[in-house]
Amino acid sequence: MPVITLERKVLEKNDAIAAALRAEFDAQGTLAINLVSSPGAGKTSLLERTIDLIKNDLRLAVVEGDVQTDNDAQRIAAHDVPVVQIVTNGLCHLEAALVRDALASVPRDLDLCVIENVGNLVCPAGWDLGEHAKVVILSTTEGDDKPEKYPNMFRAARVMIVNKIDLLPYVQFDVERCVAAARTVNPDLVVFRTSCTTGEGLEEWTGWVRGEVIERERGRPRPC
Amino acid sequence: MPVITLERKVLEKNDAIAAALRAEFDAQGTLAINLVSSPGAGKTSLLERTIDLIKNDLRLAVVEGDVQTDNDAQRIAAHDVPVVQIVTNGLCHLEAALVRDALASVPRDLDLCVIENVGNLVCPAGWDLGEHAKVVILSTTEGDDKPEKYPNMFRAARVMIVNKIDLLPYVQFDVERCVAAARTVNPDLVVFRTSCTTGEGLEEWTGWVRGEVIERERGRPRPC
C-alpha cells in the first residue's frame, strides 16, 4: 500500500531531524516545549502570560506556527522576546525541518524554546519537533469529552493545561471527568488549571517550566 | 516530488467518489451538508437542536465522523433519527469513500443528510464528501481571528455559524470583525449567529436548511 510506505518514510525522515534537534537542545541545556491544542484554546494568550512571568530570569525564544498570518508572532514580539513565525500555507502541523530552519533566526544558548504549533488537536500529535514535552491545552469551552475523542494527542503529551477555567460557571465542563479521561489514556499526565483572564494557575504552570529548565541545565554536558 | 504526486492521486480518487455521491444525492433530491469546525465548537449540540426543530417535517439521517468513540452517534440516536458512526482511528478528516460506505447503513429517499466531520479546522477543508455545502461552525470562545488564520476552511464553506453567542459577555470576540474577516476570503458566505443554550438564531439557521431542501427537491429529476 504505497500511501502507508510513503508516510512512514516521511515520518522517519522527520524523526531523524527531530532527534538531531533534541540532541542540539540537550547540548545547549535548552528545554524545548511544543504547545498543541485546537484553534482558539488559548495557546498564544497562555504563552504571553507565561513570558511575562519568566522572561526576567529565563532566556527564551518562541517559534510560532500558523496556517496563515503572522498575527501570533506580532503578539509575542510585543513582549520583547525573540520570535520567528512559520506560515505553513495550509499544512496542518509543524514538521521538524521547518522548526530547524526557523531556529536559525533566533539566538542560541537559551534556557527555553517554546514552539507554538498549528491549532489542530489531531495531526500535530504524530510529529516530533525535537521537543522534550508536548503540552496540550484544552479550554473549558471545548467540552470535557475531548481526551476520549482525540486520545492520540493526550497520549503524546506530558502536560495538559485545562484553560479558561474562569468560564466554568457558564459552560458544561466537569474538570474531574476531563482529567480522569485524559489519565485513562496517559496515567502520567501532569495537569494544570489556568485562566489567562484571572491569572489563576499560572504560577503553578510556570513553576513546572522553571523546574524542568533547571533539570535540563543540570543534565547539560559541561564544556571541558 | 513523490509526496505531492501521491497526494494529488489520492485527492483525485476522493473527488471522483464525491462526485458520484453528489450525483446520487441529486437523483434522490437529498440535500447533503458537511459540518466542519474545531473540536468543541458545538457541531453535535447544534445538530441535536437542529434535528429537534426539523425532524417532524423532514426525513433526515446523520453520518458522524470521529477520531475515536461513538459518543456523538449515541447523542444523535437519542433524537430518534437514523445515524451511523465512522471512527477514523486517528485519521484527521472524513473521506468520500468512508461516507459512501457509511451511507449503506442509513435509509435512502432522504430530504437531508448531515455529515458531521472530525473536529479539525484545517484538513477537512480539502476533502469533498459529495456534500452540497460545507457549514463551518466557529464558537465565540475561539477568537474572532480564526477566519484570517485558517482561511481555507472559510473559503471552502458556503455557510458560517457563529455559535455560543450566549458567551459573548464573557469573552473577547467581535462578531462584526469576525464576519468581515470571513467575507474577505469568501464574499458570498451566508452567516448565522446561534446559541444552543438559549436557542437564539436556530430558527434562522433551520430556515436556511428548509429553503435549501425545497430548492434541491424542485431540481430533482422526476421518474418517468
Residue of A3, A66, A152 with shortest CB distance to B149 = A66
Contact A40 B92 (CB under 8 A): no
Residues of chain B with pLDDT > 90, as a percent, come to 89
List of chain A residues whose C-beta atoms are within 8 Å of the C-beta of residue B85? none
Contact A38 B119 (CB under 8 A): yes
Residue A167, chain B, CB below 8 Å: the answer is yes
CB B147 within 8 A of CB B185: yes
Confidence (pLDDT) at A6: 56
CB within 8 Å of B156: residues ≥ 6 apart = B125, B126, B134, B136
What is the SS3 assignment for B33?
strand
Confidence (pLDDT) at B3: 46
Contact B39 A38 (CB under 8 A): yes
Residue A221, chain B, CB below 8 Å: the answer is no
Distance CA B179, CA A55 (A): 36
Query: Nearest C-alpha of chain B: how many angstroms from A37?
Result: 9
Contact B149 A119 (CB under 8 A): yes
- Greater pLDDT, B27 or B219: B27
Cell of B213: 431542501
Neighbours of A167 (CB within 10 A): 18
Residue B119, chain A, CB below 8 Å: the answer is yes
Contact A92 B149 (CB under 8 A): no
Confidence (pLDDT) at A218: 83
Give residue for cell 464528501.
Answer: B129
Confidence (pLDDT) at A224: 53
Residue A117, chain B, CB below 8 Å: the answer is no
List of chain A residues whose C-beta atoms are within 8 Å of the C-beta of residue B141? 40, 139, 141-142, 164, 167
Residue A43, chain B, CB below 8 Å: the answer is no
Helix ranges, A79-201 (H): 96-103, 146-149, 151-156, 175-185
List of chain B residues whose C-beta atoms are within 8 Å of the C-beta of residue A12? none
Residues of chain A where predicted confidence (pLDDT) is lower than 70: 1-7, 220-224
End-to-end C-alpha distance for chain B, whole angstroms: 51
Q: What are phi and psi for residue B87, nearest 5 degrees?
A: -100, 115
Amino acid at B10: V
Q: Is A101 exposed, middle or buried (0-12, 13-18, 19+ CB in 10 A)?
A: exposed
Distance CA A4, CA A27 (A): 34
Residue of A2, A67, A166 with shortest CB distance to B149 = A67
Q: Is the dihedral of CA A119, A121, A123, A125 positive or negative?
A: positive
pTM: 0.90
Query: Nearest C-alpha of chain A: how many angstroms from B168?
Result: 11
End-to-end C-alpha distance for chain A, whole angstroms: 51
Q: Is B187 exposed, middle or buried (0-12, 13-18, 19+ CB in 10 A)?
A: exposed
Distance CA B79, CA B33 (A): 19
Q: For testing the chain A interface, which of B122, B140, B148, B186 should be mutated: the one with the most A CBs within 10 Å?
A: B122
Residue B105, chain A, CB below 8 Å: the answer is no
Nearest-by-CA chain A residue for B66: A149
Cell of B11: 485527492
Distance CA A42, CA B146 (A): 12
Cell of B162: 457563529
Confidence (pLDDT) at B224: 54
* Complex prediction ipTM: 0.86
Residue B164, chain A, CB below 8 Å: the answer is yes
pLDDT digits (tens, 9 = 90+) for B174-221: 999 999 999 999 999 999 999 999 999 999 999 999 999 998 888 766
Q: Average pLDDT in the B122-128 region?
A: 96
